[in-house]
Structure 1
């Protein structure tokens, strides 16, 4: 890390009750990521230019909530700072993925954060840690969805509102989790406007982070300002067991037509489901996802909306 001492805690206001709440309830905490110097515009401009092409996601999104229409883009010849300038004027979402794999200073930061968590929560052991950076336009949205691993969102610049919905089959049917795990669909989920009546809304300001329970549906709405955020993901043994059960249920439902399947991730029943999931993957039955075959636009800081359609370029 740059300007911050390795002895200074990243989490600024941890309280004893957070150990019991972590992973079970949404928690908003304060952090010192900005003090590392790794998230200034200049540092992020350099990070964008270093990012391998396959790890730089660019999307342009519509304004609707329940029927998202996405366009996929590429950086083209824009510099990192030009890309940030373009995002600030458009409706664009940039996802700089798996930063720890190719930027050692961010990997060190990721490990420091989880070392802090593990020191404060005995028995909390994480693996497959991941850090990414999101740079998104004023009023941009992330649609109603759920994640398959432990997740936290750290705000660096701008303000966003995060809606966290109840963990129940009304808001997230287990069959939809299975579809996500089997890559039959994206992380987006069926959404209805009345869901918001039952959501908890958090406004996330610079220096604040939010974490929420596994599979809790959520969506995000930027305020009218450029947003710079950091995502961190992790796996634990309980998260893996839950993954194995839902994945195994999806396999058993598809292969054998079974319908009444338990989602309990404790006890011996998890192991046959984990085995069926492994076999399904080895047989190549998992539908491949995350492949974007088209690019609709290119970043263009001189354009009024920050992008130019590739057909026009």
Structure 2
């Protein structure tokens, strides 16, 4: 299945380049009818996806920020059967490396970033990734923040997206450092219900995408239908500078107990932190470890919520 590159963003205005990465930006795109996201294509992709390249999650449906999600597995089911469980149950499937599974999704990813790089002066991205999200009606994704630059592309269905300011108290400096060091799961970010008073709220419809500032916290609530979307993530030289500074600050906070830590990305302070981050990251002192996931359910078409409890086991990723 090939992807034919074309004009993907349909409502771009030149001044959007001036606010890219600093303001939340909702744009129209042309992928809602793409064959890459049809039932047949998604079923085939699920069939092809190896265990290390997907997550399947469940959490109870509750008002507001949902409780901690559970990790599951897909076993002895076809992609079409999994898709039907998602349509009628209470789960979501994340395909984390479709570009490696099927080159057509890699071509799509390259086309997206080529278009943005052609429209935003000085924007050069690398280490890009695309993750496909297939989720049940009314599913909620917990308040969280991502480390790389991030966008959400809605292809099928509608979801409500809450985007919060990328600053304290919505994301504290220590929490961001722990997130970067792998000491805090992205969905374990501290959340207070009153944060919603300061959120930008979007009903993201099929054919729309949303980009927000680096590390901007957000949460998602599906409307009452199957949702298909994908996220894109990327790095730039500027984003790597922020990463290095926060990585070094986390090391200094953990090892030396320092609390007043600047986040400058230039000057002598930045250069010294860049050196520290490099020295620690590529040494046995690196605090980052592989994530450990506890699997305690299987996708089950016979259960109304689509899951069946199993004895728990763990895997690393």
2:292 is the counterpart of 1:291: yes
| RMSD across aligned positions (CA) | 1.7
Q: Which residue of 2 aligns with 1:151?
A: 150
Alpha-carbon distance, 1:155 to partner: 0.5
Q: TM-score, normalised by structure 1?
A: 0.94
CA distance in 2, matches of 1:101, 1:5: 18
Paired residues for 1:2-13 under 5 Å: 2=2, 5-6=4-5, 8-13=6-11
Residue 66 of structure 2 contacts residue 140 of structure 2 at CA under 8 Å; is this kept in 1? no
CA distance in 1, matches of 2:4, 2:90: 36
Q: Which residue of 1 aligns with 2:58?
A: 60
Q: Which residue of 1 aligns with 2:108?
A: 109
CA distance in 2, matches of 1:66, 1:32: 31
Q: Which residue of 1 aligns with 2:162?
A: 163
2:301 is the counterpart of 1:308: no
Q: What is the SS of the residue equivalent to 2:295?
A: coil
Q: Deviations over 1:257-279 (max 9, x none)?
A: 22110012233422221221222
CA distance in 2, matches of 1:275, 1:146: 26
CA distance in 2, matches of 1:268, 1:68: 43
Q: Which residue of 2 aligns with 1:215?
A: 215
Residue 45 of structure 2 contacts residue 101 of structure 2 at CA under 8 Å; is this kept in 1? no
2:98 is the counterpart of 1:99: yes
Alpha-carbon spacing, 1:290–1:26, altered in 2? closer, same or farther (3 Å): same
Residue 184 of structure 1 contacts residue 289 of structure 1 at CA under 8 Å; is this kept in 2? no
Q: Deviations over 1:24-71 (max 9, x none)?
A: 100111111234311101100001111111111011012344462322
Contiguous gaps of at least 5 residues in structure 2: 313-317
CA distance in 2, matches of 1:185, 1:223: 29
Residue 247 of structure 1 contacts residue 277 of structure 1 at CA under 8 Å; is this kept in 2? yes
Alpha-carbon spacing, 1:5–1:104, altered in 2? closer, same or farther (3 Å): closer
Alpha-carbon spacing, 1:133–1:14, altered in 2? closer, same or farther (3 Å): same
Q: Which residue of 2 aligns with 1:134?
A: 133
Residue 48 of structure 1 contacts residue 80 of structure 1 at CA under 8 Å; is this kept in 2? yes
Q: TM-score, normalised by structure 2?
A: 0.93
CA distance in 2, matches of 1:107, 1:63: 34
CA distance in 1, matches of 2:66, 2:91: 17
**More displaced, 262-271 or 199-208?**
262-271
CA distance in 2, matches of 1:135, 1:205: 15
Q: What is the SS of the residue equivalent to 1:241?
A: helix
Report how many aligned residue pairs link the two structures: 309
Q: What is the SS of the residue equivalent to 2:104?
A: helix
